[in-house]
Amino acid sequence: MAVNYYTKEGLQKLKDELSELKTKGRADMAKQIAEARDKGDLSENAEYDAAKEAQGLLELKISKLETVVGNARIIDESSVDTSKVSILSTVKIKNKKNNTKVKYQLVAEEEADLKSGKISIQSPIGKGLLGKKKGESAVIRVPAGDMEFEIVDITI
């Protein structure tokens, strides 16, 4: 798995989620399995089978999160180059078709939250903006078709 860059807050959020799953998540799962086991014959106990399957999914999620956290690096905002769009850049773009302006911060996929203006560098818009400079245009293929954006400003 490749190294991913996160803000300090974003990485802490992932670590907190991992800790929660390892402690409370595992304890809740053990309780569910014990309750299902107490209901009798395990060979015909669908509740027990479901609890064991859920436990497997929980352990898979924990394993994936451990890998993500293990490969995560905090990016120093002072080292972000604002001459071009990169991860952690805050970019103001103008839709050339209707002249609306929006501002997004490009972040790792796990930190993306459109409501707070954070989009993934893996998203179509994120990929299309990476490496562009102020004043440049980017034609980006989105589900609704091709859209053309102008880079108005790049900050941290």
Q: Across the 156 residues of the chain, what is the mean pLDDT of every consecutive 10-residue run?
A: 77 92 94 85 80 93 92 78 87 92 91 91 92 92 89 90
CATH code for the domain in which residue 66 is found = 1.10.287.180
- The pLDDT of residue 95 is 92
Q: Domain boundary residue among 74, 103, 135? A: 74
Determine the straight-line distance between the first and last CA of the chain, rounded to whole angstroms. Answer: 27
Tell me which H or E stretch contains 119.
strand 118-120
Residues 59 and 100 placed together within one structural domain of the fold: no
CA–CA separation, 84 vs 131, rounded Å? 5
Is the pTM here over 0.85, yes or no?
no
Q: What is the CATH number of the domain that holds 132?
A: 3.10.50.30
Q: What's the confidence (pLDDT) of residue 54?
A: 92
Shared-domain flag, residues 86 and 67: no
**Is the domain of 46 the same as that of 82?**
no
**Residue at which a domain ends, from 19, 53, 74:** 74
State whether 32 and 43 are in the same domain.
Answer: yes
What residues make up the domain containing 83?
Answer: 77-155
Q: Could you read off the pLDDT of 114-154 as tens digits, one per residue?
A: 999 999 999 999 999 999 999 999 999 988 889 999 999 99
Percent of the chain whose predicted confidence (pLDDT) is above 90: 53
What pLDDT, on a 0 to 100 scale, did the predictor assign at position 154? 92
Kindly list the distances between the CA atom of residue 140 and the CA atoms of 2, 49, 83, 106, in Å, as whole numbers in the listed order: 25, 46, 20, 15
Say if residue 68 is in the same domain as residue 122: no
